[in-house]
Amino acid sequence: MRIEETFSVSRPPEVVFDYLTNPSNLADWQTSKTSVEQLTDGPPQLGTRFRERTKPPGAREFEQIVELTEFERPTRVHVHIVEGPHPIDGTWSFDAYGDGTRVQFVAEGELRGVMRALQPVVQRVMARQFAGYHRNLCRNVELRPSDLA
């Protein structure tokens, strides 16, 4: 399964990248997250791991361990699902675009079990969900004072 989306944010790439990779912001834009715990010490960087609990609308809550397997500030970050029921990885690429940032997002992975049989439906639902998350991200980043990420 593959989902692609491109969107713009009216802030510089560094601000968008720092907001997106800060675990304390995750539940503010990915609103299905019920908790996020950083498992490794220090600021987010290559190899940083998180435990996320997610409660999608109409579905059961689940837990996953994710790792930042690419971390090239401020141009690219890749999140790999290390453990969890839905191994859909995400990559965000950031390019300066005028006074803001053009963000390209790709989610990819193999669905399992019943989800695999329902892939076309699941893909549409997930694409809408990610589009909503990215609208939240844009709103949150654009409303933040410029010195906060």
> pLDDT for 87-144, tens place per residue?
899 999 999 999 999 999 999 998 877 777 777 888 898 899 999 999 999 999 999 7
**149 alpha carbon, distance to own chain's centre:** 15
Neighbour-count burial of 15, counting CB atoms closer than 10 A to its CB (0-12 exposed, 13-18 middle, 19+ buried): buried
pLDDT of residue 6 exceeding 90: yes
What pTM was estimated for this model as a whole? Answer: 0.90
What is the predicted pLDDT for the residue at 116? 75
3-class DSSP state for residue 91? strand
> pLDDT for 28-51, tens place per residue?
999 999 999 999 999 999 999 999
